């Protein structure tokens, strides 16, 4: 089934109160980000460096992955390679089985969302608890995240309160975020204490030292990993960077871009397992090396998943993350998804005005809006849009070549619907008129009159 952004976003935006609130909440994050960024002397220079490091690394990915693996192994870490999401899940399942694990605590990892790890493990009888507050909320609601950094941004505190009251018997009608967060803390504490393995995502993996770096605010990743004896870190293969010193660039940028903090509360460097513990890192491809093949689009692999492009996107803010129908929504999602299935996600690259705000906000300088434009051409060329649209475009193209016909259509087309129905369908002028008046066609001065205007 194709993702129907058009209808889903319409539903979201037609709940005026909620969509305005969503827009305001995310704009607030964008504003905090602006302040944090202006506090850095050389932000634009940092962006250049971040982009350069990532591009260099991605264009030498095999070399750095091999180096990372070798160094991690020296540290006593087990390294696994997964070609796709299924293999990733199998690997996690096997590791857990071999240790007879019954309960896994997970900190935020978009990769495991991408691989749909939770349902896989649950089928095997393993209890999985998402320990990031936002993730826990959506897990309890049986939903997917609507934002990669703020997974529960679409949910109101009243709904959280209701949910907690139902599941945990908390005070009904107490909507105070502080109270609700404390209740979640109490519940999650029990989960931490009874878990026997932990899984985290990875923000950066360092080739030079074989360590993985995890950036969080809540303390859930570190609690989980340290309380249990078995730690698993799942990473997309693009997460590797050459040297530790490059962390200086990225740790300065990630949290500022994501939430407007100067750095996350915890920036944890996991290098070796604890004394009686085991540490596993799973390197996941899942289509990434294919993406790397694409001449123009490969730079989307630079993404450090800060979410800034979502917060800044005027369309995302008014459409909600679920309208995108993929784990990674927003502008970056719209340039990642066509790699996966051009037809299924063909609506997404069009869900943009190409205003370019995403490209300017992106800490690693992915030219997102240009890629959106290019994806549109791929979609057009491969004819994965409905046929009628394509025919209409052909006619429109012909019209633009011929000035006389063009003038004719412009003047007559709008009024006499019957003459060129395809052109009208393509233009969907009827949609224009629902909440906007049509511009009036005015008689312009002829060339001779024009020659004389402004002449004294």
Task: Tell me the C-alpha distance between 421 and 419, whole Å.
Answer: 6
Tell me the closest approach of the beta carbon of residue 254 to ligand SF4, in angstroms.
9
Nearer to ligand SF4 by Cβ, of 355 and 417: the residue is 355
The entry of another protein, ligand SF4, none near residue 304 (CB within 5 to 8 angstroms by kind) is ligand SF4
Residues 65-84 touching another protein, rule: CB under 8 A, are 65-66, 75, 81-83
Strand spans (E) along 107-229 = 127-130, 197-200, 204-206, 212-216
Residue with tokens 């180096």: 67
Exposure of 324 in the CB half-sphere (CA atoms within 13 A): 31
224 lies in the site for ligand SF4, by CB under 6 A: no
Does the protein bind ligand SF4 through residue 332 (CB under 6 A)?
yes
Q: At what angle do helices 177-194 and 220-227 cross, to 10 degrees?
A: 20
Residue 82 interacting partner from ligand SF4, another protein, none (CB closer than 5 to 8 Å by kind): another protein
CA trace torsion 355, 358, 360, 362 (10° rounding): -170
Residue 200's binding partner, choosing from another protein, ligand SF4, none, with beta-carbon cut-off 5 to 8 A by kind?
Answer: none
With CB under 8 A as the contact rule, the residue among 18, 99, 244, 344 that binds another protein is: 244
**Helix (H, G, I), strand (E, B), or coil: what is residue 257?**
helix
Burial class (CB in 10 A: 0-12, 13-18, 19+), 451: exposed
Q: Which stretch binds another protein (CB under 8 A): 114-122, 223-231, 324-332, 334-342?
A: 223-231
297 interacts with another protein by CB under 8 A:
no
CA angle, 308 as apex, 64 and 29 as ends, to 5°?
140
Q: Which residues 6+ apart lie within 8 Å of 268 measured at CB?
A: 213, 214, 215, 216, 221, 222, 225
364 binds ligand SF4 (CB under 6 A): yes
Pairing status of strand 230-236 against strand 240-241:
unpaired
Instruction: For residue 198, report the phi and psi dihedrals to the nearest 5 degrees.
Output: -135, 145
| Residue 237: CB minimum distance to ligand SF4, A | 16
Residue 233 backbone phi and psi in degrees, to 5: -120, 120
Residue 434: name its binding partner from another protein, ligand SF4, none (Cβ under 5 to 8 Å by kind): another protein
Q: What is the dihedral of CA 424, 430, 431, 437, to 10 degrees?
A: 120
Rounded (10°) angle between helices 247-258 and 16-38 = 150
* Minimal distance, residue 217 CB to ligand SF4, in Å: 17
Residues in region 301-330 near ligand SF4 by CB under 6 A: 303-309
Q: How many residues does the chain have?
A: 456
130 binds another protein (CB under 8 A): no
Q: Is 37 in the site for ligand SF4 (CB under 6 A)?
A: no
Determine, following the binding rule CB under 6 A, whether residue 363 of this chain makes contact with ligand SF4: yes
Between residue 199 and residue 218, which ones bind another protein under the rule CB under 8 A?
217-218
5 interacts with, out of ligand SF4, another protein, none, CB within 5 to 8 A per kind: another protein
Which 237-266 positions form the footprint of ligand SF4 (CB under 6 A)?
Answer: 257
Q: Among 18, 127, 143, 263, which residue sits at the site for another protein (rule: CB under 8 A)?
A: 263
Residues that bind ligand SF4 (CB under 6 A): 257, 303-309, 332, 361-364, 366, 368
């Amino acid at each position: 089934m194709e993702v129907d952004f058009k209808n889903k976003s319409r539903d979201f935006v037609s709940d005026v109160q909620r969509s305005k609130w969503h827009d305001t909440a995310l704009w607030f994050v964008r504003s905090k980000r602006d302040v944090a960024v202006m506090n850095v002397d050389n932000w634009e220079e940092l962006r250049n460096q971040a982009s350069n490091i990532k591009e260099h690394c991605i264009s030498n990915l095999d070399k750095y992955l091999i180096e990372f693996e070798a160094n991690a192994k020296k540290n006593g870490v087990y390294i696994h390679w997964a070609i796709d999401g299924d293999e990733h899940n199998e690997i996690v399942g096997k590791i857990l089985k071999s240790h007879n694990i019954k309960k896994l605590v997970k900190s935020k990892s978009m990769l495991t969302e991408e691989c749909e790890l939770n349902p896989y493990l649950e089928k095997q009888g393993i209890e999985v608890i998402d320990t990031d507050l936002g993730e826990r909320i959506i897990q309890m609601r049986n939903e997917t995240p609507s934002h990669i950094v703020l997974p529960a941004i679409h949910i109101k505190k009243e709904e959280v309160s209701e949910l907690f009251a139902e599941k945990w018997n908390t005070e009904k009608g107490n909507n105070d975020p502080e109270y609700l967060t404390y209740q979640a803390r109490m519940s999650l504490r029990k989960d931490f204490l009874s878990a026997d393995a932990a899984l985290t995502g990875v923000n950066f993996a360092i080739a030079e030292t074989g360590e993985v770096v995890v950036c969080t605010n809540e303390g859930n990743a570190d609690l989980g990993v340290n309380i249990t004896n078995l730690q698993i870190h799942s990473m997309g293969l693009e997460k590797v960077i050459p040297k530790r010193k490059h962390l200086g660039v990225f740790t300065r940028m990630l949290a500022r871009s994501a939430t407007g903090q100067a750095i996350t509360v915890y920036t944890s460097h996991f290098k070796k397992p604890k004394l009686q513990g085991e540490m596993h890192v799973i390197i996941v491809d899942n289509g990434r090396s294919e993406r790397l093949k694409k001449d123009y689009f490969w730079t989307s692999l630079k993404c450090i998943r800060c979410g800034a492009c979502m917060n800044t996107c005027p369309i995302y803010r008014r459409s909600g993350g679920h309208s995108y129908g993929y784990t990674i929504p927003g502008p970056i999602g719209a340039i990642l998804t066509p790699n996966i299935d051009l037809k299924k996600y063909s609506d997404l690259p069009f869900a943009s005005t190409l205003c370019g705000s995403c490209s300017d906000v992106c800490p690693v300088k992915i030219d997102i809006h240009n890629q959106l434009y290019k994806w549109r051409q791929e979609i057009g060329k491969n004819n994965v849009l409905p046929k009628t649209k394509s025919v209409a475009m052909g006619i429109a193209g012909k019209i633009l070549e011929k000035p006389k016909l063009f003038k004719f259509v412009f003047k007559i087309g709008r009024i006499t619907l019957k003459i060129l129905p395809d052109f009208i369908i393509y233009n969907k002028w009827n949609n224009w008129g629902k909440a906007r008046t049509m511009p009036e066609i005015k008689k312009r001065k002829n060339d001779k009159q024009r020659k004389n205007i402004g002449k004294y």
